[in-house]
Chain A
Amino acid sequence: GAVVSQHPSWVICKSGTSVKIECRSLDFQATTMFWYRQFPKQSLMLMATSNEGSKATYEQGVEKDKFLINHASLTLSTLTVTSAHPEDSSFYICSAAAQRGETQYFGPGTRLLVL
């Protein structure tokens, strides 16, 4: 149980384009989902927290207009990187929790390369 998937697993795009990443909880309903970013040889950094049906809460320094998060259902959250630039190239990982405060389960990650 507690399986989280992400799609796509990797994506290459041109600078200036937008990329959408999906995060799905496959065998449970997730009230809360989280989006992290991990640069090479660094640890995970939380970008934002999203609760189903409400606006996401972004961490300090994360541009909400650049990283659009939608959590429209209890099993799906999406992260859209708008007008991507090479510095946005990173490993994006989501996690999901059934209820606020419960154990988070992570997806396999999406590797984004912006050329």
Chain B
Amino acid sequence: DAKTTQPPSMDCAEGRAANLPCNHSTISGNEYVYWYRQIHSQGPQYIIHGLKNNETNEMASLIITEDRKSSTLILPHATLRDTAVYYCIVRANFGNEKLTFGTGTRLTIIP
């Protein structure tokens, strides 16, 4: 699986949009970009995933650059409950279904 690079930590003011970047310059054509988050002492929570088109669901939006070498997860109106470690993972959906977790970005929402 391609490796991802994320900033170790970020702060965001409550009520503002949180934009979390991820670089995956070695991504292959059949690899998806997945985002999970882990709130302290809990199991990871699935957020969103995409291949090349931008995606939106009730939790977040995922913007993938045209060359697919980077992406941004957007939490439109951050709340204190969004404080967590956010993991960006690239993975092919067929053949190798493993998720390889890096160190992620620790997002802190500031009141």
Contact = CB atoms under 8 A, between A and B. Distances in A.
A101 B91 CA distance: 9
B44 A44 contact: yes
Contact of A100 (B49, B97, B101): B97
B99 interface: yes
A103 B100 contact: no
Nearest to B42: A108
B49 A108 contact: no
Interface of B: 34, 36, 38, 41-46, 49, 87, 92-95, 97-104
Nearest to B34: A103
A97 interface: yes
Contacts of A49: 97-98
Q: Which label, helix, strand, loop or mixed, suits the secondary structure of the A interface?
A: strand
A2 interface: yes
A106 B100 contact: no
A106 B97 contact: no
Interface residues of A, number: 27
A106 B43 contact: yes
Interface of A: 2, 4, 6, 32, 34, 36, 43-46, 49, 91, 93-95, 97, 100-109, 111
Nearest to B92: A101
B102 A97 contact: no
Nearest to A110: B43
Contact of A109 (B41, B92, B102): B41
A54 to B, nearest CB: 14
Contacts of A109: 41-43
Contacts of A100: 94, 97
Given A4-B43, A100-B94, A103-B49, 19 more contacts: A32-B97, A43-B103, A43-B104, A44-B38, A49-B97, A49-B98, A93-B43, A94-B43, A95-B43, A97-B97, A101-B92, A101-B93, A101-B95, A101-B97, A102-B93, A104-B46, A108-B43, A109-B41, A109-B42
A38 to B, nearest CB: 9
B91 to A, nearest CB: 9
Nearest to B94: A101
